[in-house]
Structure 1
Amino acid sequence: MNLQSIPLLSPAVGTRRELTVFRFGPAQSGEKIYIQASLHADETPAMLTAVLLKRRLIELEAQGALAAQIVLVPVANPIGLSQYVLGQFVGRFELGSGRNFNRHFLPFNAVIDRAKDTLGADPLDNRRIVRQLMHDELELHTPVNEFESLQHELLKLSFDADIVIDLHCSQEAAMHLYTNETGWAEFEPLARYLGSRASMLANDSGGQSFDEAHSLFWWQLQQALPASKPVRTGTVAVTVECRGQRDVSYEVAQHDADALIDYLIHRGALRGEPAPLPALLMPATPLAGSEQLYAPASGILVHRAEIGALVCAGEPLFDIIDPLTDATTTVVSRNEGVLYMRRAIRFVTAGAPLGRVTGTEPLRSGMLLGA
């Protein structure tokens, strides 16, 4: 194992934060796997999974079982780890600017323009050239503050990875994941090992999140190039939502770390006999088909369906009770699908987001991600 510390741009005199990176396996191997946790810093289950994964990788490396380079960043957001307001942990947004740590990563649009003039007829050589162009683009970019330096350093660590796994969690949720159509073929075994209750696909969800900074770029590049300049996909990426924020236990995190190990063995990044693939609990569905549920009134929120439940169209999911008039408003599902996440609130204002249900038919377009 190789340990690396990467300083971030100091926001003020006398302060400095850094990224800590653990590297396993041969640096010149044929494949690179990049895994990070808790880019939204208050998503602790992902961090514990990364800790237990690191312990297992140390053991496997000592046994000579690594066939790929694996880069692990267990704490992907040291900025957010320091953010508390009146005792409440705020890790999703930077307090100084209000920006979401997992939105609007540097796009590689200039690389696409350069590639049109640079690439030839060999798809493998073209992938090498594109990665060099991405490297050059990152070297040209100069972050102007700590937030940008964090995003910049994460991209420098991951842009040339074959596989990117971004570990998150939701507020209250079943295990679920997000990837694109190309990535689904690669990550369907991971969904099986994890026991994912929902897997949602989108080429462009609209938010320039960390996973799409990788996968969307390669998809857009392939769409922009003529048939005479083919290029192999360089990176497939997935966001794994490790249930809800309160699902912090050794048992749950060990299950997820073991699932990641099984997946890495399955794809040949680790040597060993792959575990049998479990059944796929739920088929993949379009992210545009997921129903976003909102409160039509204010009041006490009562949950009427369990997280991870398969619900029918018209099934009651939430009651909202006005404590002054006793009026009860029931929110029902329009979809037949899985209630895969809900907010951790129990009193709502009108218009507050409540939860999400998967669906097979697209309902939405444009920005598909929440704030």
Structure 2
Amino acid sequence: MQRIDHPLPWGCPGTERRLSVFRFGVGPRKAYIQASLHADELPGMRVAVELKRRLRELHDQGRLTGVIELVPVANPIGLGQMFQATHQGRFELGSGKNFNRDFPDLAALIAPALQGQLAADGAVNVELIRRAMHAALEALPPAGSELQGLQRLLLKHACDADVVLDLHCDFDAAVHLYLLPQQWPQLRSLAARLAAGAALTVEDSGGNSFDECCVLPWLKLAQEFPSAQVPLACLAVTVELGGMADTGQQQAQASAESILAFLAEQGLIAGDWPPVPAPTCEATPFAGAEYVYAPHAGVVSFLQSIGAQVSVGDPLFEVIDPLDDRHTTVCAATDGVLYARERLRFAQPGLWLAKVAGRTPIRQGRLLSD
């Protein structure tokens, strides 16, 4: 195992933050796994603890057939953001920016340098593109903030990976995935191994999130250079490992084993692994996800459990104003799976309370909420 520590720029005098990357194995293929980019989403960090332990074992057994890079703490900035005993890990307090938005657009950075360079050999093109990505990131002006420096470091380690897993969680949720529709056939087994309740497909959800900035350049470059062979050389997925409280040891160990078995399928680990279990969900468009809001303030009581199959008209939650006795039951407007619920139990203006994964697109434009 190799540990790589990167100091972040713009640390205050007397302080310094570091990004730590753990590299295991050697071989022609590479996987990159990071946890808790939203630093208060800790199930991924807990799974990373198990992954690091198991990867050491697999390395000692000589079973690693590729490179696996693991970043257990992908956001040291947000990890230290506490306000009145409450962790604030989703947004940088100084700028208000979401840590998982506005990563560099690699396709735009490297397309000019690739003019006349790509040809009919897809494998050669992949190497040229990955080298161009690294060169472009190195050539950027110095980072203007600690956050910008962090994002560039994460992308430098991930941009040459064949497989990218970004481990997150939702507030109170079933395991679910965000992925390209073209890559669902390859990711079915990961969803099944993790017993996912939903798999939401989208090409570009808006916001330049990390996983999309790893995989979308390959689609964009294939469109930019139609006469060249540009394969979809990065399999990238955001894995939402349930809810924020799902940090139990047994669950973390099971998730880690599921991820390792999937990496073995991708040619990165040798040996025998459990067969893929029966599917637990089918892919649905992210544009079909209903975000359900309350019509007024009040205390919230949920009426459906996480993972419940719901139909149009089924009650999802009730909202009760304790002063004027206003009482509203909010129902589903689409058929699908209730895959996430808000952790707070008092309705706030403009904040969703439940998410239902439906099969029919009902939204367009920017699909991500901040």
| TM-score where L is the length of structure 1 | 0.97
Are 1:298 and 2:303 counterparts? no
Q: Which moved more, 1:342-351 or 1:355-364?
A: 342-351
Partner of residue 105, structure 2: 107
Gaps of 5+ in 2: none
Partner of residue 4, structure 1: 4
Amino acid of the residue matched to residue 286 of structure 2?
Answer: L
> In 2, are the aligned partners of 1:40 and 1:91 still within 8 Å (CA)?
yes
Partner of residue 80, structure 2: 82
Aligned residue pairs, count:
368
2:348, 2:7 → 1: CA distance? Answer: 41
- 1:241, distance to aligned residue in structure 2 (A): 0.4
Residue deviations 1:1-28 (CA, integer Å, cap 9, x gap): 11111111133211110011111001xx
1:7, 1:172 → 2: CA distance? Answer: 34
Partner of residue 306, structure 2: 307
Are 1:341 and 2:350 counterparts? no
Amino acid of the residue matched to residue 51 of structure 1?
Answer: V
- 1:299, distance to aligned residue in structure 2 (A): 0.7
1:331, 1:232 → 2: CA distance? Answer: 45
- 1:117, distance to aligned residue in structure 2 (A): 2.9
1:31, 1:186 → 2: CA distance? Answer: 16
SS in 1 for 2:233: coil
1:101, 1:354 → 2: CA distance? Answer: 22
Partner of residue 262, structure 2: 263
Give 1:138-177 correspondences, 5 Å limit. 138-141=137-140, 142-177=142-177
SS in 2 for 1:177: strand
Amino acid of the residue matched to residue 114 of structure 1?
Answer: A
1:59, 1:156 → 2: CA distance? Answer: 27
- Return the match for 1:48 from 46, 49, 69: 46
Partner of residue 59, structure 2: 61
Amino acid of the residue matched to residue 113 of structure 1?
Answer: P
Partner of residue 248, structure 1: 247
2:314, 2:112 → 1: CA distance? Answer: 49
2:223, 2:307 → 1: CA distance? Answer: 36
Identity of aligned residues (%): 46
- 1:249, distance to aligned residue in structure 2 (A): 0.7
Amino acid of the residue matched to residue 298 of structure 2?
Answer: G
Q: Which moved more, 1:167-176 or 1:6-15?
A: 6-15
> In 2, are the aligned partners of 1:178 and 1:238 still within 8 Å (CA)?
yes
Partner of residue 221, structure 2: 221
Amino acid of the residue matched to residue 13 of structure 2?
Answer: V
Residue deviations 1:196-254 (CA, integer Å, cap 9, x gap): 0000000000011000011111111112222x211122212000001111111101111
> In 2, are the aligned partners of 1:11 and 1:145 still within 8 Å (CA)?
no
What is the root-mean-square deviation of aligned Cα atoms in Å? 1.1
Partner of residue 354, structure 2: 355
Residue deviations 1:143-188 (CA, integer Å, cap 9, x gap): 1111100001001111100000000011110100101022222211
Amino acid of the residue matched to residue 100 of structure 2?
Answer: N
Partner of residue 89, structure 2: 91
> In 1, are the aligned partners of 2:11 and 2:17 still within 8 Å (CA)?
no
- 1:293, distance to aligned residue in structure 2 (A): 0.7
2:327, 2:58 → 1: CA distance? Answer: 56
Partner of residue 15, structure 2: 15
- 1:287, distance to aligned residue in structure 2 (A): 0.5
1:157, 1:282 → 2: CA distance? Answer: 31
Amino acid of the residue matched to residue 233 of structure 1?
Answer: L
1:80, 1:350 → 2: CA distance? Answer: 25
Amino acid of the residue matched to residue 72 of structure 2?
Answer: P
2:351, 2:213 → 1: CA distance? Answer: 29
Give 1:27-42 correspondences, 5 Å limit. 29-42=27-40
| TM-score where L is the length of structure 2 | 0.97
- 1:50, distance to aligned residue in structure 2 (A): 0.4
Residue deviations 1:249-268 (CA, integer Å, cap 9, x gap): 10111110111111122222
Q: Which moved more, 1:159-168 or 1:233-242?
A: 233-242
Partner of residue 323, structure 1: 322
SS in 1 for 2:339: strand
2:235, 2:129 → 1: CA distance? Answer: 15
Residue deviations 1:284-325 (CA, integer Å, cap 9, x gap): 000011001111111111100001111111100010011112
Following superposition, which runs of at least 4 residues in structure 1 exceed 4 angstroms of deviation?
none
> In 1, are the aligned partners of 2:169 and 2:241 still within 8 Å (CA)?
yes
1:238, 1:155 → 2: CA distance? Answer: 14
Partner of residue 119, structure 1: 118
